[in-house]
Chain A
Amino acid sequence: MGENQATKVAMPVLEARGIAKAFGPVEVLTDISLSVMPGEVHAIIGENGAGKSTLMKLMSGHLQPTRGTVAIDGEPVHFAGPVDAEHRGLVLVHQEILLAPDLTVAQNIFMGRELKRGLMVNDREMNRQSAEAVRSLGADIDPTTQISRLSIARRQLVQIARALQVPHRVVIFDEPTASLTPFETEALLKVIRDLRDKGVAVLYISHRLPEVGAIADRITVLRDGKLIATRNASDLQPVDMARLMVGRDMSQLYPEREDTATRQNVLEVKNFDVPGYARDASFTLRKGEILGFAGLIGAGRTELFEGLVGLRTGHGEVMLNGNPVKFHTVRDSMAAGIVYLSEDRKGKGLLLAQDLRTNLTLATLGKFTKGPLIQRKREDNSLTKAITDFDIRARRRDLLAGQLSGGNQQKLLLAKMMLLEPSIVIIDEPTRGIDIGTKEQIYKFIADLAKAGKSVIVISSEMQELIGICHRILVMRSSRIVGEVTGDAMTEDEIVVYATGVKINEAELYSAGNA
């Protein structure tokens, strides 16, 4: 195992020695020292804004530290940039997908380092090697497929394949599983174990604590730009990790489940189709109910609800409080009291380059106008109230939405949509990219909505959170609703069976068999 190899080679391959980073007068990282040995997986965990990504950027040459040094093999180095770091065998797998959508898998994997035969690019060889690289990640993707035709999860895998194409001694993964399903996560963890067994040093950033416990040899916890602790993974349970990350006890992440669901149906959907994405979807939602939608990314959940609220074309029977309705545009569904919060906060939820006030009132400007005039004062009062009610933490009121942390952006988006005074709230990936502390607040908020007699639909790829907060969970697979789990049957195992058609221990077997 990794620890054995770590003791064999005493010299850390990559080290941070008291590094600090300041942006202007604000120091975002203070005196961090950590190291990673060959054949070791060192996990970095911390809430959003704790400085994890900044630390990784410092260690991979994307940023220069304000103080302190980075050392390779014990020698202090100064990276001229990420390419320089790559030349020294240090690669960073980015959290965001950085691929050209119109090029093929192989063209992306070899972009900038194309294989040539004479003057021509050697497509055949690149396709062959790409297929192999992708297969070694446990996926089967035709290397001539265009990236734009792949699901987010598969794009992530291509990105990892591309990074690993460079000769590497240290690989840094920045939240690689954020968009992966359990099955794909297992496959990725296996790849990381393989890397480790080959003596590669791995730095691994993640929010998902059980996964960190499963893969890491050592764990470093960051909070507010400071290093809180570095421990052996065997000494830390997920509960302890959460406590160290948040700085308080996290015994109860999910609010106590209350039976707020009534028998009254507020929404009945029959045989709803969204061409290309969802087929024959039928379900009901009750007043006061929190209904979960589970499934793999690409199963059609997002598109089903975008179709339902009028954001894309969809057909089918929709009954709202017993009356048939048809939403031609999203404005219609908003007027009927249904709001949809996009999973893509930055791309579809908020205007990142505009301030908080503009964002807050964007969907409800009509309520803030007198004649043609927008009433700034009332907007400002509304923002003050939203900041308090939703605990939006902004350094200053005149910040741009893009300057908020992910968690505060989500709270702002919630505040914005709640101004529409909806009776049905559809939240897509409510806690994606959000720290634990904010997650807890959002779960409580969802529970409070149900308690207030509203109905909530939660679409999520985090099965734990669906199990933690929902009264009932529907599972989608390949455009169809394939199952419903309630009560004691709400377990990850049960959901995964429906979502993948494969039992979860098969996924584990698969990875064990290949390890």
Chain B
Amino acid sequence: MSDTKTITDTRGLGRKFADLDKTAVAPFLALAALFLLGALVNPNFLSIDNLLNVLTRSSFIAIIAVGATFVISAGGLDLSVGSMAALVAGIMILFLNSAAIDGDTAMLAAGIVVAIGVGALAGLLNGAIITIGKIEPFIVTLGTMAIFRSVTVWLADGGSIAMKSIAMRNMFRPVYTGVFLGLPFPVWLIIAVGLLGAFILYKTSFGRHVIAVGSNEDVARYSGIHVNRVRAMTYILQGICVAIAVVVYVPRLGAATTTTGMLWELQAITAVVIGGTALRGGVGRIWGTICGAFMLEIVGNIMVLSNIVSEYLIGAVQGTIIIIAMLVQRTLQKKK
């Protein structure tokens, strides 16, 4: 019936190269270029210590941005992640300070569970309002961004919420500073979250549904996919990722302040977009996102090491990067 020869692939190497999805490779090329630039600016840049340091510092944004990859590839947006991080951190510390459970280890473990629970609930709140209320994610998360931030400021009474128990601080600190098999603990966490995220997005039917919903919501609905459920779930995943980032963040300073997580939403969205995920949905790239988060931190690092541009301008540079990344994406897509 059908002539099977149409199926066989007889393309040459050149054609295969042309087929290569350039938007998928671009972030890694850009990262390589940054490495080169860093090495030229300061020989210390390429030292293992410096690079591990940069990776460690990028962990908050990288982990949050993995969640944002789900939200954005399903066609949504979450502006509340920064405020949510502050709120989750605040509540986690208040819980730790309450000393409700005997024994510091049990208390810490419970604290982590509480953080993840609060993150998931905050995500569910976003997801529920967006899907049940049928309101634009931009507006909803703009609203919850203000709510989460404000509640945090209220909980902190305008100041900061700090961990009281010095013993517990010391016990918790290695989560940020600890090293395991030569890699800092936060780096292991990035890898774990990345692997899990990639597994869910690329290998499970939920991941397939996320892409379908982001690609075309109507087609997803007509295919019998519970669109609202999938959407809400991406916001819950986002909340959980925020909570995981908080678990790494709290031991670093041992406190949450009114400015905790400020502008993290901007950085997370930037990481996702420069990683090659389409802002309109339908394409998600977990490793690109992590690469993007790493790039943002490297740019800051290079600025600190070089003294050519004032590091106060880091926000401006990151803002420029997202715009350039969009332009590059646009050009690459046009060529396709």
Contact = CB atoms under 8 A, between A and B. Distances in A.
Given A387-B2, A387-B7, A388-B1, A348 B204 contact: no
B334 interface: no
B226 A353 contact: no
Given A387-B2, A391-B2, A363 B203 contact: no
Given A331-B226, A362-B223, A351 B7 contact: no
A349 B219 contact: yes
B282 interface: yes
A352 interface: yes
Contacts of B7: 384, 387, 394, 396-397
B13 to A, nearest CB: 16
Kindly name the residue among B7, B212, B224 whose own CB sees the greatest number of chain A CB atoms within 10 A: B224
B330 interface: no
B21 to A, nearest CB: 11
B180 to A, nearest CB: 27
A366 B205 contact: yes
A105 to B, nearest CB: 26
Interface in B183-241: 203-206, 208-209, 211-212, 215-216, 218-226
A353 B282 contact: yes
B310 interface: no
Contacts of A271: none
A365 interface: yes
A393 interface: yes
Contact of B1 (A348, A365, A391): A391
A348 B219 CA distance: 4
Secondary structure of the A contact surface, majority rule? mixed
Contact of B226 (A329, A368, A394): A329
Interface residues of A, number: 37
A260 B200 CA distance: 46
B157 interface: no
A347 B204 contact: no
Contact of B205 (A334, A349, A352, A374): A374
B49 interface: no
A388 B206 CA distance: 29
A92 to B, nearest CB: 24
Nearest to A383: B7
A150 interface: no
B102 interface: no
A369 B212 contact: no
A319 interface: no
B203 A347 contact: no
B6 interface: yes
Contacts of B215: 351, 353-354
Contact of A349 (B209, B222, B225): B222
A481 to B, nearest CB: 24
A366 B209 CA distance: 11
A368 B205 CA distance: 9
A390 B125 CA distance: 45
Given A394-B6, A396-B9, A330 B222 contact: yes
B204 A369 contact: yes
B9 A331 contact: no
Contacts of B211: 354, 358
A374 B208 CA distance: 9
Contacts of A331: 224, 226
A392 interface: yes
A311 B203 contact: no
A348 B212 contact: no
B321 to A, nearest CB: 26
Contacts of A363: 223-225
A178 to B, nearest CB: 21
A342 B224 CA distance: 13
A331 B221 CA distance: 9
A311 B222 contact: yes
Contact of A365 (B205, B216, B226, B282): B205
A430 to B, nearest CB: 16
Contacts of A353: 215-216, 282-283
A395 interface: yes
A372 interface: yes
A342 B2 CA distance: 26
Contact of A351 (B204, B206, B219, B226): B219
Interface in A332-352: 334, 340, 342, 344, 347-352
Given A363-B225, A365-B208, A387-B2, 19 more contacts: A311-B222, A330-B224, A347-B218, A347-B219, A348-B219, A348-B221, A348-B222, A349-B222, A350-B219, A354-B215, A365-B209, A368-B205, A373-B204, A374-B208, A387-B7, A391-B2, A393-B2, A396-B7, A397-B7
Interface of A: 311, 329-331, 334, 340, 342, 344, 347-354, 358, 362-363, 365-366, 368-369, 372-374, 384, 387-388, 391-397, 416
Interface of B: 1-2, 6-7, 9, 203-206, 208-209, 211-212, 215-216, 218-226, 282-283
23 contacts: A329-B224, A329-B226, A334-B224, A348-B219, A348-B221, A349-B222, A350-B219, A351-B215, A351-B216, A353-B283, A354-B215, A358-B211, A362-B225, A363-B224, A369-B204, A374-B204, A387-B2, A391-B1, A391-B2, A396-B7, A397-B7, A397-B9, A416-B223
